[in-house]
Structure 1
C-alpha cells in the first residue's frame, strides 16, 4: 500500500435526509474541479472549526439552510488529481429553511431506495458515502 505524501484537505459533507426517504445531491458549479459532477453538499473545514461548525457554515452558504443536528456516518479518504481529501460525512435530518442553490448550482432530491441516483456523473467519493448510508438504513 502506497502512503499518501500529499497534504490532506479536511472536508465536512452532509447527507440531508428528508421525511420522504430522499437525500440531496448538488451539482458542482463551473469553475470548480469536477464541474458538472454531482456531490453531497459540504466543503472544507476551516482552522479551529469542528465538523458540525463547518457543516453548518457550508450548508448555510450553499443551500441557505440552518442545520440543527447531525449524526456521523463515516470518515473516508479519496485521492483526487487536484487534492487528497479526508471526508467527514454526516447525516442531517433536522434543519430550518428550504434548500435552494445559493451558488447557482442545481440540486436533486434522490430516493434512498433507488438502485442509483437519477443524476450523473457522481463524484467518485460520493459512492462509498451512499453505500454506507444505504447499509446503515437497510
Structure 2
C-alpha cells in the first residue's frame, strides 16, 4: 500500500489547516504522496515546502495510518516551523486552529481521527 502524509504544523498551541475546495472538500492537514525512495518525513518536508513555502521539522506520528482508498494510507505527523510564513498555493484557504476550535471545522473524513488525537496534544 502506498503512503500519503499529512502534516499537522503546530505553532503557539495552534495547528495550521488547509481547505480543499469542491463537493468533496473540507479542512485537511496539508501534505501529499510519498514518492519512491522517500521516507514519510522527507515527503512531509518536500510537500510542505511545495504547498506552503514553509521549512519544517517533522516530529512524531499522530497514530496509526488510515486507509483513504484501496491503494493509499494516510499518516499524519506533527511538525514545527523552522522558517517561512505559509503561502496559499493549492488550497482555497489556510487557517490556524486552537485546540478548542478543532471541532468547529468541517474536516475531511480521513483526517478526523488525527484531529481527535491532536486535540489531546495541543
TM-score interval, normalised by the smaller of the two chains: 0.7 to 0.9
Matched with 2:47 is 58
Q: CA deviation at 1:104?
A: 5.1
| Cα distance in 1 for residues equivalent to 2:95 and 2:71 | 26
Matched with 2:76 is 89
TM-score, with length taken from structure 1: 0.76
Q: Which has the larger radius of gyration?
A: 1
| Cα distance in 2 for residues equivalent to 1:70 and 1:113 | 22
Gaps of 5+ in 2: none
SS of alignment partner, residue 109 of structure 2: coil
Q: CA deviation at 1:27?
A: 1.3
Q: State whether residues 77 and 84 of structure 1, in contact with CA within 8 Å, keep that contact through their aligned partners in structure 2.
A: no
Matched with 2:112 is 127
Q: CA deviation at 1:9?
A: 3.2
SS of alignment partner, residue 24 of structure 1: strand
Gaps of 5+ in 1: 1-7
TM-score, with length taken from structure 2: 0.85
- The C-alpha deviation readout for 1:58-100, integer Å capped at 9, x for no partner, is 00111011113322221322344xx543122111123210011
| Aligned-residue RMSD, C-alpha | 2.1
SS of alignment partner, residue 36 of structure 2: coil
